[in-house]
Amino acid sequence: MTKKGIPEKEEKNPDHRIIAKELDLYILDDQAGQGLPILLPN
């Protein structure tokens, strides 16, 4: 763990797609449009 509380593996590769899946922030749907993020209600 780093000082920020983030595992070292994730800090080295902060990929927004992986983080978004874990936090359920948005989805990427190919039917709506490739690469178009659809925000989910929080």
1-42: pLDDT as tens digits: 555 666 666 556 667 777 777 888 888 888 888 889 888 887
- For CA atoms 12, 15, 18, 22, give the dihedral sign: positive
Tally DSSP H helices, then E strands, for the chain: 2, 2
Q: What is the pLDDT of residue 8?
A: 64
Residue 39 identity: L
| pLDDT score recorded for residue 12 | 61
Residue 14 has a pLDDT of 66
What stretches of 1-42 adopt beta strand conformation (E)? Answer: 26-28, 37-39
Q: Is the pTM of this model over 0.85?
A: no
